[in-house]
Amino acid sequence: MIEKMKAEHQTHEFPPVYDEASRILILGSFPSVKSREQHFYYGHPQNRFWKVLARILECEIPATVEDKKEMLLLHHIALWDVIESCDITGSSDSSIRNVVVNDFNRIFKTAEIRCVYANGATAKKLYEKYAKKMTEKPITGLPSTSPANAAYSVERLMESWIQIKHFL
């Protein structure tokens, strides 16, 4: 008999990546199970985030967490998630409930963020619902790099994601 997964309360357990030179902020919704296991962003091997970003930035796809942080900071990119804690079933964005939003002021007080981007519709919707009033910064939605977004190939993702270069 297959047991139905239950929503569990989860807390975001790794910090944002940013410094005073960061110029854009890319936000996901909440880390996937694989990302939570690895304690870093976009840890699922089928997620195309690192591949798309590396191609846009014209650099090697980073292999380690340190390489990923270095690539982000070298190109003035801040990375975080909208949610600090929530109830979630596995990695399912559609199951997210009881949201506590992250405090984005820690990034906005340090860096001159020119544009905020959402990696996927859920991240955009959550930011607009819970954070936009506090930050007073608009967010631009980009198609999700998640493997669940099978309608988008890497090439099609790049067509949308290339716009981040305008703010770097």
**Number of C-beta neighbours around residue 48 at 10 A:** 22
Q: How many CB atoms within 10 Å of residue 119? A: 27
**CA 136 to CA 123: how far, in whole Å?**
16
> How many residues does the structure list for the chain?
168
Backbone angles phi, psi at 27, to 5 degrees: -115, 130
**119 given a catalytic annotation:** no
Which position among 47, 98, 105, 119 bears the catalytic label?
47
Which positions are catalytic? 47
